[in-house]
Amino acid sequence: MLEKVGTDCSRCGACVQVCPAGCISMDQERAWIDSEKCLHCDACRKHCHLLAKVSLNTVQKAYAAQAEDGSVRSRSASGGAFAAIARSFLEQGGVVFGSAWQEDWRAKHIGVESADALFKLQGSKYTESDTGDTYARVKQALREGKPVLYSGTPCQIAGLYAFLGKKPEKLYTADIVCHGVPRGELLAEYIAYYEKKHGCRVTEWNFRVHKEGIQGCLGRITYEKDGRIKTVPMLWNCDTYYYHFMHGLCYQSRCYTCPYAQRQRTGDVTLADFWGIERLFPHRVGGNTSLVLVNTEAGAGLLAQCRGLQLTEADTEAACAQNGQLNAPVKRTAEKDRFEALYVQGGWGAVERDFLKKTRLQRLKAQAVYRIPAGLKKQLRNLRRR
């Protein structure tokens, strides 16, 4: 007989990895205990971050950050802060854990020990990442005396602390400012739908790419069809999945009441896009920029030892004010309920038909703006700021 593990489960996986009987499993919503195998040791509840009440950290400083290496920035979702920090950490003998794509277009946390493998952890996934056995692997690496940097959503960082029972000296953590996460199967199902619709095989799905003159969210899809490789842009307000993600319509239910969508953070550092940077630094030029929040002394030390990262200190209050999930979780709306009803009724086909119908003018405008030359876009932005 299966029993629920809590009602607000974040699926961090701590209970699965700590259970001595191996009697806990995950479905698309939460963890479940097989009561026939359970030893009643209560380890799962003792190591649940929602029940253990993991302590949070107050933001100390904020920085605008860009990796000095252009190739690092080109692989990153924003300014390449995580990649620069992780590269320095690896060069000093550490182990870095983060989210990587799997062959089935699901995301899963893995560990890397060389800079050559760091590319696997770069880029936005916009889907839930399975922590797998990485909490246990972190514990083992720390036992071996290796420094560990673990990146993930705030609930995943909280889950790691709850699993370990404390914050070990050589553990460093980086939480991302998380909008919310769709269940892992949702994106894989959408890509399968996309392939069937276009008669192709997707080889690359990138939610964030850098292009001169384009600010904000621009993606790229590469696919193989009839023996030829083709790459097409993915505008966030023109692609069905991207649109529903950016509007907060396809997240898991728990995300709309997330206890970590606030200024108090779980990680030693917090990483995000630096939205509204032009208001704080009107004359700043060049590429997208990361927001780095330093929350602990360990986080300050992590930045101090980092090479290849340009840092400009920013006003903490002003920097945080521009990022919604540093202030409150995304609100659940009637449109979220509509998405769920359509998806249950007819899958991604029903969702897309509704999307195409209601966003026709919006999509035409977005496509027109995309085609404006980069130089002209820059002039228009400068005029708007005057």
Residues 334-358: tens digit of each pLDDT? 999 999 999 999 999 999 999 999 9
3-state secondary structure of 135: helix
**Strand 171-176 to strand 269-273: parallel, antiparallel, or no bridges (unpaired)?**
parallel
Q: What is the mean pLDDT of residues 224-241?
A: 95
Closest CA to 160 of 141, 182, 186: 141
Burial class from Cβ neighbours inside 10 Å (0-12, 13-18, 19+) for residue 171 reads buried
d(CA 182, CA 127): 5
The pLDDT > 70 percentage for the chain reads 91
Question: Mapping DSSP to helix (H, G, I), strand (E, B) and coil, where does residue 99 land?
Answer: strand
Two structure tokens written together for 297:
């002394």
* Dihedral, CA of residue 168, residue 145, residue 83 and residue 284, to nearest 10: 60
Phi, psi of 379 (to 5 degrees): -65, -40
Q: What is the pLDDT of residue 381?
A: 62
Strand order of the β-sheet with 61-67 is: 129-130, 107-112, 95-101, 148-152, 171-176, 269-273, 290-294, 61-67, 309-314
pLDDT at 119 > cutoff 60: yes
Q: What is the C-alpha end-to-end distance of the chain, expressed in Å?
A: 66
Query: Rounded to an integer, what distance in angstroms lies between the CA atom of residue 148 and that of residue 111?
Result: 9
31 pLDDT exceeds 90? Answer: no
**Other C-beta atoms lying within 10 Å of the C-beta of residue 227:** 5
Helices 334-358/360-370 angle, 10° precision: 70
Question: Which CATH topology does 61-181+251-326 take?
Answer: Aspartate Aminotransferase; domain 2 (3.40.640)
In Å, what is the CA distance from 380 to each residue of 161, 263, 368, 374, 385? 47, 34, 15, 10, 9
Q: Which residue has the higher pLDDT, 37 or 251?
A: 251
Cα 323 vs. chain centroid, distance in angstroms? 14
Q: How far apart are CA 119 and CA 190, in angstroms?
A: 24
**Domain segments of the chain as ranges:** 2-52, 61-181+251-326, 184-248+333-385
Q: What whole-number distance in Å separates Cα of residue 52 and Cα of residue 11?
A: 15
Q: Can you say whether the dihedral through the CA atoms of 152, 153, 158, 163 is positive or negative? A: negative
pLDDT score of 212 more than 50: no
Q: Which of 46-50, 209-213, 251-255 has the highest mean pLDDT?
A: 251-255
Using only C-alpha atoms, the chain has a radius of gyration, in whole angstroms, of 21
pLDDT at 51 over 90: no
pLDDT at 213 over 50: no
Contacts of 61 (CB under 8 A, 6+ apart): 293, 294, 300, 313, 316
Report d(CA 185, CA 79) in Å as an integer: 29
Least confident of 71-75, 137-141, 225-229, 242-246: 71-75
Q: In angstroms, rounded to a whole number, what is the distance separating the alpha carbons of residues 173 and 97?
A: 10
Domain 2-52 has CATH 3.30.70.20: yes
DSSP β-ladder status, 107-112 and 95-101: antiparallel
Burial of 39 (0-12, 13-18, 19+ CB in 10 A): exposed
List the beta bridge partners of residue 22.
none
pTM above 0.85, yes or no: yes
pLDDT of residue 229: 97
Which pLDDT value is given to residue 78? 79
Which range of 280-284, 321-325, 328-332 scores highest in mean pLDDT? It is: 328-332
